[in-house]
Amino acid sequence: MSKVTDFPTSAKLLHWLSALLIICMLFLGVSMIQSLAPWHDSALRLHQSVGVLVLILVCIRLINRLLIKVPALPTDLSRWQRLAAKGSQVLLYLLMVALPISGWLMQNAAGLPVSFFGIFQLPLFVEASLRSYGLFRELHALLAWSLLAVIVLHISAALHHGVIRKDSVLPSMLFKFKSRK
């Protein structure tokens, strides 16, 4: 059976699109809590809708991941490096799902529905209560900072493979553009 050396285009597109959106959302979230300027309400509406888009993309990504063949890790990696790679991947997926859901529940606990770009509203899952609002808000912040920490580790590992080890891991997630002669 032939081995795959690259992620399929569907996986690359979903990876880079969700990475871009999540990094913008981390910056947007932090800037929102530091300002009550007139743009705060529009920023919050955008933050919620893009957060729901991230949740949808991550669900599509998980289904896609189950259907595609992915390249194997280099054979010379140690046991702990393999464990760290798998563990951080699982953690990334868990955080990418849990973070938007915690934001959704936080808004419900504040008595507010969550709208997706004004196209549809998500169902209300929890009753309005100040106590649950506080809890979900703290959870949302904790998950956001944990996701940032795992993303920093993920980027460091990718650069270690690409710049120091110069192996096949980083190129397997990059787009290859053929130069015209």
108 touches ligand HEM (CB under 6 A): no
Q: Show contacts with ligand HEM in window 121-140 (CB under 6 A).
A: 140
d(CA 51, CA 121): 13
Taking contact as CB under 6 A, which single stretch among the options 30-38, 64-72, 77-85, 151-159 is the one that binds ligand HEM?
Answer: 30-38
When the beta carbons of 102 and 172 are compared against ligand HEM, the nearer one is: 102
Degrees to nearest 5, angle at CA 135 with 93 and 119: 60
172 touches ligand HEM (CB under 6 A): no
151 touches ligand HEM (CB under 6 A): no
Q: Show contacts with ligand HEM in window 58-97 (CB under 6 A).
A: none
d(CA 85, CA 158): 10
Cβ-contact 87, 37 below 8 angstroms = no
* Among positions 11, 14, 92, 100, the unique one binding ligand HEM when judged by CB under 6 A: 100
* Among positions 52, 92, 150, 151, the unique one binding ligand HEM when judged by CB under 6 A: 52
Taking contact as CB under 6 A, which single stretch among the options 40-48, 62-70, 81-89, 170-178 is the one that binds ligand HEM?
Answer: 40-48
104 touches ligand HEM (CB under 6 A): yes
For 109, residues 6+ apart whose C-beta sits below 8 A from its C-beta are 126, 127, 128, 129, 132, 133, 135, 136
141 touches ligand HEM (CB under 6 A): yes
DSSP assignment, residue 105?
H
Give SS3 for 37: coil
For 50, residues 6+ apart whose C-beta sits below 8 A from its C-beta are 21, 24, 25, 28
Which residues lie near ligand HEM (CB under 6 A)?
Answer: 22, 25-26, 29-30, 32-33, 44, 47-48, 51-52, 54, 99-100, 103-104, 106-107, 114, 140-141, 144
